[in-house]
């Protein structure tokens, strides 16, 4: 397949005066796992619902699997699996009735595969949806999205409510989809949820796609944080001049260090005193693209909120309409 | 695929339909059962009232006051209330409950979703009125009433078409706005205003204005006595059809909420 699984040109959606999605040019290759990252309210779900024809764009165009999102939505929906963020199901149906209902709307699916998915996710299909934990509800949603082996999976915050063990299984399932040559479009508000599986990520903020980058590259640029606790108060300048350190905040026995790149130099500096406890924190999305702006624009306007899409790896896709 | 949607909708409506239908049937049964003994008393009370007031009270229909109350007040109000609640939540309820997002991601068009919901509403109202009719007919067999089989069937049919018209109005407002509370209060408001204008305007000598009210086309032809009034049923059908067309057009065009 040469065509992109998802392609948008200047996709824009206004709610009143608010641009929830603003001129998004997105290109997701067939056969990749694409992470769609952004803080809550950045426009991830709105973008997805535009692709599904649940919302109508104010301007711009989009194609999914080579089909126009406005004109050919029915054909698109035949070929995709979708898990909404904030999933709601019919509370009076059991898990199995729910799956059956959606399967019949698709004209039938391979029920043996449904059973296999349910077993892998350890999903309970017997009780009513209203009695489920949010985790089990999410599993029903995932089975429903995967069960017809769609060419494209669009998953909006799929990890919510899943315990770590199930998340691992879920990530295996995503890799298998990729091995099959199918495509996954995965939205999340945390990098850690997608960095293990995604090939590339796009970051959306205030409705604008600010960067599309390979995950490895993004992680290299990401700022991470270590919090140290010492047995005795340490000098203020402990991390001054250490390679990669962006900031160090020291209060008595506590030190909070932000750094990028290799952790070695930070640890070497830290261990010149007796460390009692060590805690690492996830890279914050906000910090990631702040770092991105610093690196690509030579410290020019670190706020990064100029509305300019960053010079990203996403090629300016030629219009195909 | 559409039959699956319809089955799903009917399952969703089943309990409400059965409960309301049996309640109305039971009420109808007992209304006929006691109406014989009450008839004389009520007739004495109302014999000197002007015709408009008699109509308002409902004592001038075959079967007398109680049956009149059942056909002009209790049954239509219960039916219209149910129609408004069910109609306003048919489309918009899925948006409030946030299940619409999953439903609309399936390979079904919005028109199909809407027509499945409209069909299920129709069948549900049909079942409710059929149960109501059965309660009346049974009581007539057991206790006897002045109702004719033809009059009873016509009265029930008029009520059904009234219910369908208001269900369609509520469906349309819900489909256009995606907000069940707006749909139920707007359609409910219309129903109440229309009911009052149909009941009150004739008392004030403004009978012509009552013809704007859907209730006029359900009740004024006195179907219990005169049988079906096809023109009046045609008006109610036209109103319902217009509302369904509005529902389809607006629902296809707008952004979904949930």
Contact A56 B98 (CB under 8 A): no
Residue A177 makes CB contacts below 8 A (sequence gap 6+) with A33, A146, A153, A183, A184
Option in A54, A107, A141 nearest B104 (CB): A54
Task: Give B228-248 pLDDT, tens digit per residue.
Answer: 999 999 999 999 999 999 999
Q: Is the pLDDT of residue B8 over 90?
A: yes
Option in A86, A105, A141 nearest B98 (CB): A86
d(CA A293, CA A297): 6
Q: Determine contact: B252 vs chain A, CB below 8 A.
A: no
**Closest-approach residue (CA) in chain B for A142:** B102
Task: Give A13-46 pLDDT, tens digit per residue.
Answer: 999 999 999 999 999 999 999 999 988 889 999 9
Q: Determine contact: B16 vs chain A, CB below 8 A.
A: no
- Please state, as a whole number, how many other Cβ atoms lie within 10 Å of the Cβ of residue B66: 25
Q: Is the pLDDT of residue A163 over 60?
A: yes
pLDDT of the residue at A221:
73
* Per-residue pLDDT band at A284 (split at 50, 70, 90): low
Q: Is the pLDDT of residue B219 over 50?
A: yes
Phi, psi of A42 (to 5 degrees): -80, -20
**In total, how many domains does chain B have?**
1
* Per-residue pLDDT band at A222 (split at 50, 70, 90): confident
Q: Pick from B187, B207, B182, B188: which is nearest to B197 by CA?
A: B207
B35 compared with B15, residue with greater pLDDT: B15
CB-count exposure of residue A98 (10 Å: 0-12, 13-18, 19+):
buried
Q: Is the pLDDT of residue B161 over 90?
A: yes
Residue B258 lies in a domain: no
Q: Is the pLDDT of residue A296 over 60?
A: no
Q: Is the pLDDT of residue B48 over 80?
A: no
Q: Is the pLDDT of residue B39 over 90?
A: no
Average pLDDT, integer, range B99-119: 96
| Mutation target among A101, A146, A155, A185 for the B interface, most CBs of B within 10 A | A101
* Per-residue pLDDT band at B59 (split at 50, 70, 90): low
Average pLDDT, integer, range A137-163: 95
Question: Widest CA span of chain B, in angstroms?
Answer: 65
Phi, psi of A44 (to 5 degrees): -65, -55
d(CA B196, CA A248): 75
Option in A74, A78, A90 nearest B99 (CB): A90
Residue B25 lies in a domain: yes
Buried residues in B88-114 as b, exposed as e (16+ CB within 10 A): bbbbbbbbbeebbbbbbbbbbebebbb
Q: Pick from B152, B129, B133: which is nearest to B83 by CA?
A: B129
Contacts of A74 in chain B (CB under 8 A): 107-109
Residue B32 structural domain: 2-253
B129 compared with A286, residue with greater pLDDT: B129
Residue B140 lies in a domain: yes
Contacts of B4 in chain A (CB under 8 A): 101, 104-105
A232 compared with A321, residue with greater pLDDT: A232
Residue B189 lies in a domain: yes
Residue ranges of A 48-67 with Cβ closer than 8 A to chain B? 49, 52-56
Average pLDDT, integer, range A253-268: 89
Q: What is the nearest CA distance from B192 to chain A, expressed in angstroms?
A: 32
CB-count exposure of residue B141 (10 Å: 0-12, 13-18, 19+):
exposed
Q: Is the pLDDT of residue A173 over 80?
A: yes
| Mutation target among B93, B105, B255 for the A interface, most CBs of A within 10 A | B105
What ipTM was estimated for this complex?
0.86
d(CA A215, CA A12): 26
Q: What share of chain B is helix, strand, coil (3-state, %, to 5)?
A: 80, 0, 20
Query: Domains plus CATH for chain A?
Result: 6-214 (3.40.50.300), 223-281 (3.30.70)
**Closest-approach residue (CA) in chain B for A49:** B101
d(CA B99, CA B258): 7
Question: Widest CA span of chain A, in angstroms?
Answer: 69
Q: What is the nearest CA distance from B91 to chain A, expressed in angstroms?
A: 14
CB A291 within 8 A of CB A260: yes
Task: Give A1-10 pLDDT, tens digit per residue.
Answer: 457 999 999 9
pLDDT of the residue at A257:
92
Contacts of B100 in chain A (CB under 8 A): 54
Which H or E element spans position B186? helix B180-200
Contact A54 B102 (CB under 8 A): no
d(CA B225, CA B150): 9
């Amino acid at each position: 397949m040469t065509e992109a699984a998802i392609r948008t040109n200047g996709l824009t959606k206004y709610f009143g005066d608010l641009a929830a999605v603003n001129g998004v040019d997105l290109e997701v290759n067939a056969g990749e796992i694409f992470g769609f990252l952004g803080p809550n309210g950045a426009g991830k779900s709105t973008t997805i619902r535009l692709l599904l024809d649940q919302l109508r764009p104010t301007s711009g165009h989009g194609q999914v699997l080579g089909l126009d999102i406005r004109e050919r939505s029915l054909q698109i929906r035949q070929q995709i699996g979708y898990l909404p963020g904030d999933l709601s199901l019919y509370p009076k149906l059991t898990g199995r009735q729910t799956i059956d209902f959606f399967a019949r709307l698709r004209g039938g699916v391979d029920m043996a595969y449904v059973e296999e998915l349910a077993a892998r996710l350890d999903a309970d299909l017997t009780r009513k949806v209203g009695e489920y934990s949010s985790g089990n509800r999410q599993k029903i949603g995932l089975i429903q999205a995967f069960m017809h082996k769609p060419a494209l999976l669009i998953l909006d915050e799929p990890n919510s409510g899943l315990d770590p063990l199930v998340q691992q299984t879920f990530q295996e399932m995503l890799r298998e989809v990729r091995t099959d040559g199918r495509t996954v479009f995965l939205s999340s508000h945390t990098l850690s949820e997608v960095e293990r599986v995604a090939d590339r990520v796009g970051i959306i903020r205030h409705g604008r796609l600010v960067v599309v980058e390979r995950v490895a590259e993004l992680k290299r640029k990401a700022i991470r944080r270590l919090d140290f606790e010492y047995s005795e108060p340490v000098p203020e300048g402990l991390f001054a001049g250490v390679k990669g350190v962006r900031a160090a905040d020291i209060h008595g026995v506590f030190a909070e260090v932000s750094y990028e790149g290799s952790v070695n130099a930070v640890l070497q500096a830290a261990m010149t005193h007796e460390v009692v406890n060590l805690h690492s924190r996830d890279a914050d999305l906000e910090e990631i693209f702040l770092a991105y702006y610093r690196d690509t624009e030579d410290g020019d306007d670190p706020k990064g909120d100029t509305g300019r899409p960053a010079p990203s790896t996403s090629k300016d896709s030629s219009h195909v309409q | 695929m559409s039959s699956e949607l319809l089955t799903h909708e009917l399952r969703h409506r089943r309990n409400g339909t059965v409960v309301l239908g049996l309640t109305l049937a039971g009420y109808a049964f007992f209304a006929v059962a006691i109406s014989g003994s009450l008839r004389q008393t009520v007739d004495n009370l109302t014999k000197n009232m002007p015709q408009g007031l008699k109509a308002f009270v409902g004592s001038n229909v075959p079967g007398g006051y109680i049956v009149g109350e059942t056909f002009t007040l209790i049954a239509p109000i219960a039916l219209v209330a149910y129609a408004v609640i069910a109609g306003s939540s048919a489309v918009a309820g899925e948006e409030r409950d946030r299940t619409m997002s999953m439903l609309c991601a399936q390979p079904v068009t919005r028109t199909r979703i809407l027509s499945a919901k409209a069909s299920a509403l129709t069948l549900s109202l049909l079942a409710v009125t059929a149960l109501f009719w059965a309660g009346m007919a049974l009581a007539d067999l057991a206790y006897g009433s002045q109702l004719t089989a033809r009059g009873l069937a016509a009265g029930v049919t008029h009520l059904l078409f009234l219910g369908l018209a208001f269900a369609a109005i509520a469906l349309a407002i819900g489909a256009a706005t995606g907000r069940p509370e707006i749909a139920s209060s707007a359609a409910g408001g219309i129903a109440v205003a229309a009911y009052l204008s149909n009941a009150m305007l004739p008392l004030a000598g403004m009978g012509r204005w009552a013809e704007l009210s859907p209730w006029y086309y359900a009740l004024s032809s006195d179907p219990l006595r005169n049988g079906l009034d096809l023109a009046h049923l045609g008006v109610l059908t036209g109103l319902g059809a217009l509302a369904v067309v509005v529902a389809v057009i607006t629902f296809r065009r707008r952004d979904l909420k949930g």
